Chains A and B, each alone.
Chain A
Amino acid sequence: MPRDASTDKPLVELVNITKIYPPDIVALEDVSLRIYKGEILFLTGMSGAGKTTLIKLLFCLETPTRGLIEIAGRDLFRLSPVGIQQMRQKIGVAYQDFRLLDKQTVFQNIAMAMEVTYASAKEIRVRVGELLDLLNLASKRNKPVGELSRGEQQRVALARAAANRPTLLLADEPTGNLDQTTTELVINLFRRLNEEDGSTIVVATHDESIYAKTEHRVVELHNGQLAAHLEQTPRQVELF
C-alpha cells in the first residue's frame, strides 16, 4: 500500500544529484528523491533518461558529480570499503545487463550471493529452490546460464538479487524480455518480498504495462531530470 510520505523516515534520500559522464554527458541533473522504507517505487522514463545511472549511484558503482545520497541516514560516499561491502550485502541488484557468470549453473549463480554472507549450504539450497519455483526456473537449476534464453537469464538475475531477502531491491528493467505470464511471476516475487520481508523495491522500467495500473508511487525521469510529481496522484486500480 502507498506510504504516507510526510511521517516515514526515508530509507534512501537523494539530494540535488547531478551526474555528468566525461566529457560532458549529463545523465542526471539536480535530482532530489526520497524512497521510503517498505515502499515499491517505479522509476520510469524513456531510454537514455538516466534510470540505470540512478541505480548505479545507489549501489556505489558510480559517484555523483554533485549532490548527496544517504542510505539509512549514512552518507553513501563517505563509507569505508568495508562499509560499502556490508551495504552491498543488504542491497540486491538485478542489473539491466544481468552480470551473470555464463559458465556457471543457475544454482551456482544464485548461490553466490548467499555464499558471500556465509549462509549455510542448507539455507542456500532451500532458498534457491524456493526462488526457482517462484520464477518457474526449477527445470533449469543445473544448466549453465550461458545456455539460457534472455528471459530466463533475466529471471536468474532477479533471483540472485532477491536471494538474501535484501532491505533494498533495485531491479533495472526486470521485465524487458518477458511475456505477460512471466512478467506476472516477477511482479508476484516483488510483492512477496515487499510483504513478507519488508523489502523496499525500486523498479526501473519503461514497460508501461507493469506500472500503468499500480497504486504505488511512480516517478518519471526525463532527460536526466525528475518530471512533475506523478507520485502525488496514486492510481487506484490494482495490479499489485
Chain B
Amino acid sequence: MQFLTYILCQTGKNLRQTWGAQVMTLLTVTLSVLIFAFFFLIYTNMLRASAQLGDDVRLIVYLDQEVTEQMRPVLETRIRDFGPVEKIVFVSRAEAFARLSAQMGKEKDVLNDLGPDFLPPSLEVYPLKNLNDLSKINQFSDFLQTLPYVTKVQSGLDWLQRFGYFTSLLRIVVLLSGSLLIISMTFIVSYTLRLTVLSRQGELEILRLLGASSAYIRLPLLLEGMLQGVLGSSLGLAALYILYQWIVSRFSGPGFLKLFEFTFFPFELTAAILLAGIVLCTVGSLFSIRRFIRI
C-alpha cells in the first residue's frame, strides 16, 4: 500500500516535471491511434460490403427474343456445362414489366404509355457463391455473350472490380498507418521518457545512493508510458467515434450508406486496439528504461 503510494507520487512528479513534452506525446499518440483506427474502420466496412456484394453477384443476359419452352433446357445445359451455377431464371417481357411496375410503386402510371412490351426478355444467371473470383466471373460473362439471341451481358463487374482495387489500396494504407502507429508510439514514448530520465538524472543518481529498489525507480517510468498508452488510445478512439457519428448523421438517408451499413468496431476490436496502444507505449518505455537506467 505504502509502496503503491510512493510509486504513484513519483509518477506524478515525473509528469509534472516534463509536462510540455508529455502533452505533445499524448497528442501524437492520440493522433496516430485516430489515423490508424480511421482507415481500419473504413477498411473493415469495405470488407464487409464487398462480401455482401459478392453474395449478390448475378449476370443479367439480355436477349433479343423470348426463349421458347423448348429452348430453355438447351440454353440451361449449355450454361451449366460451362461453369457451376446456382440457378438460372428466365424473365419474359411480361415478367420484366411486372417487376418494374412493382418497383415503381405509386408512380407506375408512367409505364402505362410504354406498353408491357418495351422491356427486353432476359436471363439471370447466379454463379455459385464460391465463384467469387472476379476473373472467373469475367470469363463466364464472355462465354454468355456467345450464346444465341444474346444482345448484352450486364454483370456490374466493373464496379465490383473497382471496389476490389480500392479495398486492396486501403489495405496498404491500413498497413502503413499501422506501422506509423507502432513507430510513433514506441519511439515517441521512449523519447519522452528519456527526457524524464534526463531531467531527473541527479535525483535518480541520489535515489540509487540511498538504496532505492529498482522497482521504486523503474515502475514510475513504466507507469508513465502505460498512462500515455491508456490516455492516448482512449482519446484517439473517442475522437474516431465522434467522427463516425458525424459521418453517419451527415450521410445517412438514401444512398451509398444505406446500401452498406456503416458500422463502428465491435466491442472486442475496440478493446484490442486500446490494448495494443497500451502495450506499444509500455514497450516504448521499457526501451528507455533499459537503455538509460542501469542498476
Q: Which residues from chain A sit less than 8 Å from chain B, CB to CB?
A: 59, 61, 81-82, 84-91, 93, 99-101, 112-113, 115-120, 160
Contact = CB atoms under 8 A, between A and B. Distances in A.
For the side of the interface on B, what is the size category?
10 to 19
B2 A112 contact: no
A87 B209 CA distance: 10
Given A81-B214, A86-B211, A112-B206, 5 more contacts: A61-B209, A91-B211, A115-B6, A116-B212, A119-B2
Contacts of A118: 2-3, 6
A191 to B, nearest CB: 24
A116 B210 contact: yes
15 contacts: A81-B214, A81-B295, A82-B213, A82-B214, A84-B211, A85-B212, A85-B213, A87-B211, A88-B209, A90-B211, A93-B209, A101-B206, A116-B211, A116-B213, A160-B210
Nearest to B206: A99
Contacts of B253: none
Contacts of A89: 210-211
B200 to A, nearest CB: 10
Contacts of A84: 211
B202 A85 contact: no
Contacts of A59: 209
Contacts of B6: 115, 118
Contacts of A115: 6
B2 A113 contact: no
Contacts of B158: none
Contacts of B212: 85, 116
B117 interface: no
A112 B295 contact: no
A112 B207 contact: yes
B210 A113 contact: yes
B265 to A, nearest CB: 42
Contact of B202 (A61, A91, A101, A116): A101
Contacts of B214: 81-82, 85
B203 interface: yes
Given A101-B203, A118-B2, A85 B209 contact: no
A111 B212 CA distance: 13
Contacts of B202: 101
A116 B205 CA distance: 13
B216 interface: yes
Contact of B211 (A85, A120, A160): A85
